[in-house]
Structure 1
Amino acid sequence: MNKSLKVNSRDKALLVRTPFMSALSNEALLKMLNAATISSLPARHVVFREGTPADHFYCVLGGYVRLYRLNREGREADIRVCGPGDTFAECQIFGDDTYRFNAQTAENTTFARFDTRTVRTLAEQEPDIAKAIMACLSQHLLTTMDCVANDRLHTAQQRVAEYLLKNCPVSGGPASLRLPFQKNLLAGMLGLAPEALSRAFSSLRRIGVTVRGRVVQIGDVRALRDI
């Protein structure tokens, strides 16, 4: 990890707009900003490993971080992909003292780090901070419930279609969008093997969906919605 830096004006501007920070009072916000340090890591760098001391939680300012677990045979199970504005590992503030998953950068990434013990103390002093933590944890729980339901109720083709519709810039007609990260990362986020993702994209060609690199062309958004 590179040398940790204090929050500069640009970092502050990014942090105050994140869901975690935006609802804080001025006093609580200042305390959180003072508790933050800024770090940058190159692509595919390990942020932390499962089982190591959970001494920080994080807020992504730029880039993407992949959260996943490993079994004894080395098989990986993706949990979540965190992008700009997302927080992760805040469940450790009042939870176990070791991380329960691995975190790795998907590309060059900058994030703010917060010492868990410091934030635990601040949360006891500032109700706004405690509420912000609870709001993040609640959102993560709801998102996890949606992921479990989608895995059980939707086919691979439907999961891909739902992701494209969620990120589509228009509600009808033709559209074009660029995937924010490589397709293998998207596959893990959707709970699919890379081969299954490729098959799902291939099956969507019949309604005019084509993929070139990270660019996805949609012939008819309404037809995609009917999948």
Structure 2
Amino acid sequence: MNSNSKLDNRDRAVLMKTSFMQGLSTNSAIRVLSAMSVLNLPVRHSIFREGEKAELFYCVLSGYVRLYRLSHEGREADIRICGPGDSFAECLLYSDNAYAYNAQTAEHSALAAFDMQMIRDIASEEKDVAQAVMASLSRHLLSIIDCVANDRLFTAPQRVANYILARCPVDGGPALIRLPFQKSLLAGMLGLAPEALSRAFSTLRKSGVTVRGRAIQVVDVANLRNV
């Protein structure tokens, strides 16, 4: 693990577009960045475990991070897959001081790590920082509501179809998209077991969806909307 890296231009651009950093004054942004370090982590690196003392929250600059919980029997349940621009664990800024889930890199990743106590101190003095924290928490809450609704309203094939449609570059006709990560991560993102994802892809073949590795070919985007 390398925790001495500095923000390069690409990572800075990703960070400054997050809901947590957008809208900060120059002075506030400088203070917030002073409470941050950059971590370069290998694949499957444990960032933190459920129950550990929460001292940092994070923003993904590159790569993907898997948030999950473990049952007493060792079964895993994915909570969220975080990609570039996503933040996690900031919900603990004003809550319990222990992480409520596990976080692990799904591939080589660069993370911005923020010291919670320093951010709390800055937010108490800088109104725009406090507002940025609330905006980030609000975005997470709305995202959770969407996830719960999707689990209740859509079948597994519909969830997969919606994911594909949201990333198709055209509204009709053929399209080709490429998954940015392994299908096991897509399953977790959609709240499906890997075998349920495989069955969903098999069902979607009738609607013109073909999967080869990470490449997904759609014969007719308009037809896929009828799933």
Structures share a fold, TM > 0.5? yes
Match of residue 92 from structure 2: 92
Give the root-mean-square deviation of aligned CA atoms.
1.3
Contact 1:68 1:101 in 2 (8 A): yes
Shift, 1:150, TM fit = 1.1
TM-score normalised by L of structure 1: 0.96
Give the letter aligned to residue 141 of structure 2: L
Match of residue 43 from structure 1: 43
Match of residue 147 from structure 2: 147
Tell me the number of residue pairs that the alignment of Structure 1 and Structure 2 aligns. Answer: 227
Alpha-carbon distance in structure 2 between the residues aligned to 1:14 and 1:156: 31
Match of residue 68 from structure 1: 68
Contact 2:123 2:130 in 1 (8 A): yes
Alpha-carbon distance in structure 2 between the residues aligned to 1:216 and 1:127: 45
Match of residue 215 from structure 1: 215
TM-score normalised by L of structure 2: 0.96
Match of residue 25 from structure 2: 25
Match of residue 116 from structure 1: 116
Deviates more, 1:143-152 or 1:50-59: 143-152
Alpha-carbon distance in structure 1 between the residues aligned to 2:102 and 2:130: 25
Match of residue 204 from structure 2: 204
Contact 1:7 1:36 in 2 (8 A): no
Shift, 1:8, TM fit = 5.0
Secondary structure, counterpart of 1:21 in structure 2: coil
Deviating beyond 6 angstroms after TM superposition, the runs of 4 or more aligned structure 1 residues are none
Alpha-carbon distance in structure 2 between the residues aligned to 1:151 and 1:103: 22
Shift, 1:9, TM fit = 5.0
Shift, 1:33, TM fit = 1.3
Alpha-carbon distance in structure 2 between the residues aligned to 1:63 and 1:135: 24
Contact 2:92 2:99 in 1 (8 A): yes
